[in-house]
Structure 1
């Protein structure tokens, strides 16, 4: 979807868009597997619940009504440390963010993420104008509340915003329902941010033209 008005802001999903985790050990999946072994029936919104709670493993487990055994907690912390150490920005992410900022665009990230992943990701990326982390907002994409969070911070109207992400429902369908332009990025097939952004800014007289 193209927009005849000039964009004022570009919003990015984080994981799979700006940042990747090599061989993720998925510690929260370990916890959910253990909970299932205790007799708890998995719920469709379990993953969303984990990403909307601001807390550590014990806090999240207690929300579900359980106390984690010491051995499992140690295993999860080891898996988490692995993921944080193997988290890095895609080669084009930081240069693109810096260039867009120089060109005068407001920049934000909007991500469904558990607390430690969001904190580490924010350390890896340059300072931006707004942040809509699910664990801070208390809602996950595609709930309109999380999109409205960064719109309010940026003081932008939806039609002034371009959203980039790697998930159809969360990063395209959700933003478009509010009136934003949105585009998928396919990192798995080698697509980069330049590929995605160029069509939207082809009339601009700068490096994207």
Structure 2
């Protein structure tokens, strides 16, 4: 079955922060300065809270002086303003859309970043963010939600019937998690050592598979790098 939709991760895959200030890390450090012990669940709480950084401080029980909170909020705003679309992401999404393949973003995000992603990638067909759904990748719920919004049904990976693929820089969240629910998940390795080194390469493979399917079913698996056939 041809791939009719592609899901992309956000940061590290399609977007980058050019002037990182790590405002949420600053918030956690403020908590540590006042005796709060970091918890393994802090990141999950931050990425599943549909509210701003002040509310995040309240949720985690972190007391921050008004002036310091204003500084953290300013750092957050500067970081958001520094986000840009990676060129290969722009080119890949354009290529896929030209060939009638739907595109989406699926990402673990703190709530303030969501509007920026939608603003910078305005032409995607669907968006699935952790803070809106209350779950983080690799929870199956987040993948099924984006597939529902795309109007596609994940297939059985080893039967080569998935209608939808996902690409991202996390093997756990963007390759293995999607595969567990029948999405063709792939890992983007920008170091140049992996099977897929940039998003244009990936988009061209998807388009080629869609074009050649009528002549040679399964060609996507046979002709792509070994990583794509797994």
Calculate the TM-score normalised by the size of structure 2.
Answer: 0.82
In the alignment, structure 1 segments of 5+ residues that lack a partner are none
* Partner in structure 2 of residue 161 of structure 1: 164
Pick from 74, 80, 83 the counterpart of residue 78 of structure 1: 74
Q: CA deviation at 1:189?
A: 4.5
2:127 alignment partner, SS class: strand
* Partner in structure 1 of residue 29 of structure 2: 33
What is the 5 A alignment of 1:134-153?
A: 134-153=130-149
Choose 9-18 or 33-42, whichever is displaced more: 33-42
For 2:204 and 2:123, the matched residues in 1 are separated by: 23
Matched, 1:119 2:115: yes
* Partner in structure 2 of residue 195 of structure 1: 201
Map Cα deviations across residues 53-84 of structure 1 (whole Å, 9 max, x no partner). 01111111111223421122122122112211
Contact in 1 for aligned 2:5/2:102 (Cα 8 Å): yes
1:20 alignment partner, SS class: strand
Pick from 19, 29, 37 the counterpart of residue 15 of structure 2: 19
Cα 1:54–1:23 change in 2 (3 A) is same
The count of aligned residue pairs is 204
The alignment yields a C-alpha RMSD, in angstroms, of: 2.1
1:202 alignment partner, SS class: helix
Cα 1:107–1:200 change in 2 (3 A) is closer
1:10 alignment partner, SS class: strand
Map Cα deviations across residues 28-72 of structure 1 (whole Å, 9 max, x no partner). 000011112222221112112101101111111111223421122
Structure number with greater Rg is 2
In the alignment, structure 2 segments of 5+ residues that lack a partner are 155-161, 213-222, 224-230
For 2:205 and 2:90, the matched residues in 1 are separated by: 20
Calculate the TM-score normalised by the size of structure 1.
Answer: 0.89
